[in-house]
Structure formats: structure tokens, C-alpha cells
Chain A
């Protein structure tokens, strides 16, 4: 299998703090690749470097054979990276349907169309409605996004990321704050995506990770601690130490601090 996303020696410093230290990662096309690690391991920094909201201090990001290290976030999005935010990041004043239509109209190249009323962009509206049905929010189409419940917001968040038909879907702690039922429904949604969409998921909830992932990378203190199949990771002693920490508790809570 070829790699859809590859990072080589990705490094990011915040002043004297080395948040990410030479992380090389290869995400195979069609994979469900999870990145886990304790707090302060550099997961969110890695996410930001891959999506383009941060620039690396050193290293490269190659997406689909192209070096995108210097490309801005919106260009990476157009190239086929979709992402969800750790905290739901919606268009709160707009109705749910318009939230999705913003994504579908961009994908249709209609984001700057000024002559027709937005409601008459039939293809854009219909596609948005289809996506709403897919995530089970069809009944809430006219509700302002600000009025959604937390679970519904998370659903809309995922729907937004999918609405641009990305080839790589990047999920930043998608089940954070979700109930067990919502997490499970979310996992079903990801399972239903099909192999045309590659998924890179950063997650705390190990149940979700081991249910979904075909490959797991463990970050610890800004470095790759282990990389392998879920079974290999489960059996890996260094990982267990990093997480459960016999004598390594101090590692988790003190060394990572600035």
C-alpha cells in the first residue's frame, strides 16, 4: 500500500519547548491510523502541522506525493484534507443546513457566486441535505447551529469535515466529551466511510482507537514511541509503561511541562 500522508522528521519548537521532535509517520491509503499518547505527547501539535495551521521548525509533510509543507491550510483542504476540531467549531449563527452548504458550495466552486440566491443553488443545497440525513440531523436543518446539543454539534462537526469529500480525514479527539452511546455511534460512522477515505485519528479513548484503528502510532514526549498494528501496540511494554507508568509517572506529568 502506498502512503497517502507521510511526515519526515517533523519538528516544532515553542521557544525552548520542543513539542515535537523528529516525528516520521506514514499513513497508508485507506488506513484507519490512530495517534495516541499521554497529555503533552505532541498529538495536537502534530495535527496542526499536518493540517497546516502551524508551520514546522523542521521536517516535511508530503500529501499524496506532493510536498505540502509550505502550503497554507486552505490549500491543503482543497487538495483533499478534511479535518474536525477538538472543540466543535461551527458557524453558530447560521442554520445547520447552511453550515453544510458552506462546505458543499466550496466543493462545487460556488463560494463566490453572487447572482443567484443561495437557496437556489440546487445541487449545493441537495448535497448538504443528503449529508445531513447521513449523520441523522435532517430534522434540524433550520435550527441555528448554536442551539444544537453537544452530541449534535459533534455530529455536525464530522459532517462538515466530510462534506468536502476529503481523501484524508483528520479527526482531533472526536469523541471528547461524548457519551458512550454517542462514541459508539461515531465509531459506526467512521466504519461506514469506506476505503476511499483515509482516516487519521487523534484520540484519548483507547476503546474507540482499538475498535477502529488498523494501525496505531504512540507519541510520547514529542517522539514516536511505538508504531504498529493494534495488537502489537497492546502487547508493547514501553507503551504500557508510558500509559500506566510504573516508575514513569513522573514522565507523564513533569518532564513534558515547559
Chain B
């Protein structure tokens, strides 16, 4: 049943360019890129228990890396993607060394600070980033060396879709692995993990770097479509929206995060102009509604459906004694997990 649903969703995703106008395909391309950002953040916040308000930093660094590469070195998109992934991971590796030693609100505030510093840097370092004006005139991508530049929105969409599926599959693999279980253990009860002999700094640092890599990749994919990058792309708003996508999608559920990302981008890009730029207000309402009506996000609604043959366990409400809560993100335990007992 799950496979059929997943196959249908994939088929639909792949068929999008054949069904919609190029404007809509472009917007959906941005949704996909943003979804990858949210997926990485969900691994960090939902599964690793480290809610970050600074994921725009590796996202923006990846975006600038891809843009600079496109302008000065190569238009081959997979190379831009690799470079951006490395750039995002490198930034996270550099700041994460200190950041993941903090917890809860402190971690949230420190990631926010890093996000703002990187934002400021993009604003000021005009020689490289173009300052407030950003980097415009980014050439169209080519998918393989020597090929013609991609000018069709549909082809660009397919490229981004492929990249997001590959990166997303890697994130799902990580989440279902023994390392993923370690992350859930750290999220649930770090002290107990230490008593079992885990040096908990390591998994936290690793997942911070992985989330940074995913954010960097997402930045490159964003630029592949937008062909423009400015400091606004690594502002606080981007970080907050990514976290919002994770929360309304259901913390710890990767597909929920992707869905949440779609909602966030659609509201912001489609609804906002029609409301005279009051998109953030709508997002705020969506957030409040989601927290009250769907405490477990979209992923949690599954619990109320007729149960499919037991391939996963539901999760009862947390007992009050639960440790490792993270303040800014409401406790939205996911409805199903990759490591469910078999």
C-alpha cells in the first residue's frame, strides 16, 4: 500500500512539467529545492532534537557557491551542486564544532546568531557577493558538460527533481540507519546515551554537518532555477520558514517535512501577492493552526486513518517526565519512524 502511494506520488511529480505551465513548473522547482532544505533540517531538528534557526546560512553559502561557480567557472549543474554541498557542509563543520555543545534555547539562539552573521557577511562583502544587489546574470545550467544550456522550465524541473530525490534518498537512508537510531536516542535522552558509552557530541556534530550539506545542495538547486541570489536568500525569514515547514509537516517525519515545505512556499509565493504581501501573516496563522489542530503535523494525521497492516508503531503522548524537549519547536512526535520494530 505504501509502495503504491509512493509510486503514484513519484509518477505525479515526474509528470508535472507535462501538465502545467512553465511558471508553475518554476515555482514547483523552488518548492523542491526548499523541500530539500526542510528535509535536512528535519533530520537535525526532528530526529536529532537540535532545532536550528540558522539553516539559511548553509543554504545561502551553497547558493552563493553555485552562483559564483556558474558565473566564473562552469555551468555544469551537478558540479555546482557538489561544490555547494561541500560549502554548506564546510560552514556547518566550522561553526557546529562549538554550536552542538549547547542545548535547547541556547542552541536555537546560537544558530540564529550564525545565520545573522552570515547574512551580514553576504550584505557587506560586495566584491564577492555583489552586496545588497546580489548576483544577477547567472548563466543557465547545463546538465552534462558540453550540452546545450537548459532553457525549458520543465527540463530544469526534472534536473532539480532528480537531484532532490537522490539527496532525499540519502537523508532517508541516514535516518533509518543505526546512526539514525543513535540520533533518536540522543533526542530522547542524552544522559542515558552517555551512560551507554556514546560520546554524544559526535552524532550531534555529524548530523549538523549533514543538515548543512543538504542545505547547501538546496541552495544550489534554488539558484539553478532562480538564477539570482541575494542576501535575502539567507535571511532569518528563510531559516524560520524552513523550521515552520518542519513543524507543520510533523517533526521527525521526512515526507511530512517535504509536504510542509510545499505549503510554506505556496502560501508565501502564491497567496502572498494576492493578499497584498500579507503572506507572513497567513504563514503565522497556518503555524498556529497547525500547532493546535495537528500537534503531530501532517505526518501525525496518519494516526487517525484506518491502520495499515502494522509496519510501524504509533507513538503515545509523551509522559511528563520526558527529557530532551526542545523549547521552540512544539513537541510534535512523529507518527511513524524508519526504525519501527519489524
Residues of A within 8 A of B (CB): 51, 53, 72-75, 77-78, 82-83, 85, 87, 89-98, 101-103, 105-107, 110-119, 121, 124, 141-144, 146-147, 160-161, 163-164
Q: Do A111 and B340 have beta carbons less than 8 Å apart?
A: no
Chain A residues within an 8 Å CB radius of B200: 74
Kindly state the separation between the CA atoms of A103 and B180 in the bound complex, as whole angstroms: 14
Kindly state the separation between the CA atoms of A112 and B174 in the bound complex, as whole angstroms: 10
Residue from A97, A142, A144, A163 whose CB has the most chain B CB atoms within 10 Å: A144
Chain B residues within an 8 Å CB radius of A141: 341
Q: Do B203 and A117 have beta carbons less than 8 Å apart?
A: no
Kindly state the separation between the CA atoms of A110 and B197 in the bound complex, as whole angstroms: 12
Q: Does B181 contact A (CB under 8 A)?
A: yes
Given contacts A98-B184, A116-B178, 13 further A-B contacts (CB under 8 A): A74-B193, A74-B200, A85-B195, A90-B188, A91-B184, A94-B184, A98-B339, A106-B198, A114-B179, A118-B176, A118-B178, A141-B341, A163-B196
Q: Do A51 and B185 have beta carbons less than 8 Å apart?
A: no
Given the known A-B contacts A111-B182, A118-B339, A142-B340, are A89 and B192 also in contact in the complex, defined by CB atoms under 8 Å? yes
Choose one: A82, A102, A142; the contact of B181 (CB below 8 Å). Answer: A102
Kindly state the separation between the CA atoms of A147 and B315 in the bound complex, as whole angstroms: 9
Given the known A-B contacts A90-B189, A94-B188, A141-B341, are A121 and B318 also in contact in the complex, defined by CB atoms under 8 Å? no
Kindly state the separation between the CA atoms of A85 and B192 in the bound complex, as whole angstroms: 9
Chain A residues within an 8 Å CB radius of B195: 51, 73-74, 77, 82-83, 85, 89, 161
Task: Using CB atoms, name the residue of chain B closest to A73.
Answer: B194
Q: Do A117 and B188 have beta carbons less than 8 Å apart?
A: no
B309-327: contact bitstring with A at CB < 8 Å (1 yes, 0 no)?
Answer: 0100111101101110000
Choose one: A72, A87, A90, A113; the contact of B177 (CB below 8 Å). Answer: A113
Q: Do B179 and A117 have beta carbons less than 8 Å apart?
A: no
CB distance from A249 to the nearest CB of B (A): 33
Q: Do B341 and A97 have beta carbons less than 8 Å apart?
A: yes
Choose one: A75, A89, A95, A113; the contact of B179 (CB below 8 Å). Answer: A113
CB distance from A59 to the nearest CB of B (A): 22
Given the known A-B contacts A92-B318, A102-B182, are A74 and B199 also in contact in the complex, defined by CB atoms under 8 Å? yes
Q: Do A77 and B341 have beta carbons less than 8 Å apart?
A: no
Q: Does B206 contact A (CB under 8 A)?
A: yes
Residues of B within 8 A of A (CB): 173-174, 176-182, 184-185, 187-189, 191-200, 202-203, 206, 310, 313-316, 318-319, 321-323, 333, 337-342
Q: Do B178 and A124 have beta carbons less than 8 Å apart?
A: yes
Kindly state the separation between the CA atoms of A74 and B321 in the bound complex, as whole angstroms: 23
Q: Do B177 and A111 have beta carbons less than 8 Å apart?
A: no
Chain A residues within an 8 Å CB radius of B315: 93, 144, 146
Q: Do A92 and B338 have beta carbons less than 8 Å apart?
A: no
CB distance from A91 to the nearest CB of B (A): 4
Given the known A-B contacts A94-B184, A112-B182, are A164 and B197 also in contact in the complex, defined by CB atoms under 8 Å? yes
Kindly state the separation between the CA atoms of A111 and B186 in the bound complex, as whole angstroms: 11
Q: Do A92 and B322 have beta carbons less than 8 Å apart?
A: yes
Task: Using CB atoms, name the residue of chain A closest to B203.
Answer: A112
Q: Do A144 and B313 have beta carbons less than 8 Å apart?
A: yes
Choose one: A74, A90, A147; the contact of B198 (CB below 8 Å). Answer: A74
Kindly state the separation between the CA atoms of A124 and B177 in the bound complex, as whole angstroms: 12
Chain B residues within an 8 Å CB radius of A87: 321
CB distance from A43 to the nearest CB of B (A): 18
Q: Do B341 and A142 have beta carbons less than 8 Å apart?
A: yes
CB distance from A195 to the nearest CB of B (A): 23
Kindly state the separation between the CA atoms of A98 and B180 in the bound complex, as whole angstroms: 11
Choose one: B182, B197, B313, B340; the contact of A77 (CB below 8 Å). Answer: B197
Task: Using CB atoms, name the residue of chain B closest to A145.
Answer: B188
Choose one: B191, B206, B339; the contact of A94 (CB below 8 Å). Answer: B339
CB distance from A20 to the nearest CB of B (A): 20
Kindly state the separation between the CA atoms of A163 and B193 in the bound complex, as whole angstroms: 12
Kindly state the separation between the CA atoms of A148 and B163 in the bound complex, as whole angstroms: 42
Chain A residues within an 8 Å CB radius of B185: 91, 94, 102
Q: Do A164 and B318 have beta carbons less than 8 Å apart?
A: no
18 A-B pairs with C-beta separation under 8 A: A74-B198, A74-B199, A77-B194, A77-B196, A89-B189, A93-B187, A94-B181, A95-B340, A98-B184, A98-B341, A114-B173, A117-B173, A118-B176, A118-B181, A119-B176, A141-B341, A144-B316, A164-B196
